[in-house]
Amino acid sequence: MQRITIDPITRLEGHGKIEIFLNEQGNVTNTYFQIPELRGFERFCVGRPVEEMPLLTNRICGVCPEAHHMAAAKATDAVYHVEVPRTGKMLRELLYSAFYCTDHTTHFYALGGPDFIMGPDAPVAERNILGVIHKVGLEIGGKVIQMRKYGHTVVEIIGGRKVHPCTSIPGGLTKGITEEQRKEIETMGRWAIEFAQFSLQVFNDIVLSNKTYLDLIVGDIYTHKTYYMGMVDENNKVNFYDGKVRVVGPDGKEYVKYEPKDYAAHIAEHVEPWTYLKFPYLKNVGWKGFTDGPDSGVYMATPLSRLNAADGMATPLAQAEYEKFYSTLGGKPVHQRLAIHWARLIELLYAAERWVELATDPEIRSMASTEMGKLPDSFNSTTDMTITHNPVGTDTAIEVRVCSNHHLLVPLLSTFIGNPLQMCASTTMRTITFN
């Protein structure tokens, strides 16, 4: 028996190790994806004031702190039973959309991109963002940097900081934005739309037009027929900030659609003794082990799954790309994991369009900044407002509502690396089907 160890897994957020066992013929007999880390957010969030959850859970993942910040903030709104004013909701979603753009850019160009752009066999030293920049040239590299910069600028304007935003509090935000800031945000948003379209063009030119890659994508080596989860608005269109959780089966038909707060009725986490990671699955389907198919509760939560789980995109340009995506890949649902990268770019485009929609909505500045996110004065029961039950429950609940660009594993797996990007998720999936 031969063993291949990949340690650590790279170009994704967090820690992971893969043990691959090969038989005499050199075929894989089994593979284990292990998560070596546990920090204990579930424990130490207990006893902390509720308003700190958006700040503490930020630190689950520094690549997508915005997801955890939003999630926790929405949980605290719920704890206080307050409805966030529309301006507050829009500001949060605006921040979040801009973050999507910067984050998807990071993933596509810096984390996932090298595989495509540099080619699967490129030397380690070059298979990274810098290699990518060398290859695509400073001009394009500059665009990538610009996109990340713009996204983080908006996050900073609304969230107070580029990484680990601090302005979302129970009931809303600590501050609003000025007209100058709104203008700046709008301008950057319009540029973001162009960048998203440009990126889709890059994907088209480098990947889709390359037979090897295309075969890789449409071929069934990276194919798993699982359930797909995503958040959708009232028209079953993809939404990042608010809505219901929709799950479709391997057959693409809706399996369930539920209120985020009911997450516990639908999601459970399976425990294995050989990793700190817990394995989430659809409770009502049940845990059948590391296998796919309609009888296995294993589900996917990624840009691809969100597209599969939705009936379309809420913005015109993204909707067009959505239709092209499925026509090219032969209809819904798409089971090929590598299509995630394409799906991500479609989400990038949607996020950029949404960014501009929100930035140009007259209500985005309808409230004075001091009025933002304050609870009614009548509300004054404060002492009991510390997290006294398992915070991951809370965190999960609202994480599900947010349904971030990173799949539902985020909170559920906060016990391991805080934030598995879909890359490591797909790695997870891959290990499953080696079984």
Partner 1 sequence: MSKPKFAMYWAASCGGCEIAVLNIHEKILDVDAAFDVVFWPVAMDAKYKDVEAMQDGEITLCLFNGGMRNDENEHIAKLLRKKSKIMVSFGSCACEGCIPGLANFSPIKEVVDTAFSTITTDNPENIRPQISYAMPEGIITIPTLNPVLKTLDQVVDVDYYMPGCPPESHQIAAVVDLVIAALNGKAELPPKGATIGAGNSTVCDECPRKRNVKTIKEFGRIQLMHTDPELCLLEQGIPCNGPATRSGCNARCPSAAAQCIGCYGPAEGVVDYGARLISAFASVIDSNKPDEIDKILDGLVDPAGQFYRFNLAGSLLRSSKSAQKG
Q: Please report, as residue ranges, which positions from 98 to 127 form the binding site for partner 1 (by CB under 8 A).
A: 106, 110-111, 124-125, 127
CB of 264 to partner 1, least distance (A): 6
Q: Contact between 14 and partner 1 (CB under 8 A)?
A: yes
Q: How many CB atoms lie within 10 A of CB 145?
A: 15
The answer to whether the beta carbons of residues 404 and 344 sit under 8 Å apart is: no
Residues 23 to 82: which contact partner 1 by CB under 8 A?
Answer: 29-30, 32, 34-40, 42-44, 46-49, 51-52, 55-56, 58-63, 65, 76, 80
CB of 167 to partner 1, least distance (A): 5
Q: Contact between 311 and partner 1 (CB under 8 A)?
A: no
For residue 34, the surrounding DSSP H or E stretch is strand 28-34
The answer to whether the beta carbons of residues 287 and 270 sit under 8 Å apart is: yes
Binding test (CB under 8 A) with partner 1, winner from 71, 94, 129, 356: 129
Handedness of CA 217, 249, 424, 223 (dihedral sign): negative
Q: Contact between 388 and partner 1 (CB under 8 A)?
A: no
Distance CA(133)–CA(410), nearest Å, equals 30
Residues 184 to 223: which contact partner 1 by CB under 8 A?
Answer: none
Distance CA(97)–CA(237), nearest Å, equals 15
Q: Which one of 217-225, 301-309, 354-362, 371-379 is the stretch in contact with partner 1 (CB under 8 A)?
A: 371-379
Q: Which one of 17-25, 181-189, 230-238, 424-432 is the stretch in contact with partner 1 (CB under 8 A)?
A: 17-25
Residues 157 to 186: which contact partner 1 by CB under 8 A?
Answer: 159-164, 166-167, 169-171, 174-175
Residues 235 to 274: which contact partner 1 by CB under 8 A?
Answer: 263-264, 267-274
Q: Contact between 418 and partner 1 (CB under 8 A)?
A: yes
The answer to whether the beta carbons of residues 182 and 188 sit under 8 Å apart is: no
Binding test (CB under 8 A) with partner 1, winner from 242, 386, 430, 434: 386
CB of 302 to partner 1, least distance (A): 18
Distance CA(299)–CA(310), nearest Å, equals 15
**Count of positions (residues) in the chain:** 435
Distance CA(176)–CA(159), nearest Å, equals 10
Nearest to 359 by CA among 181, 108, 232: 181
Binding test (CB under 8 A) with partner 1, winner from 133, 229, 238, 298: 133
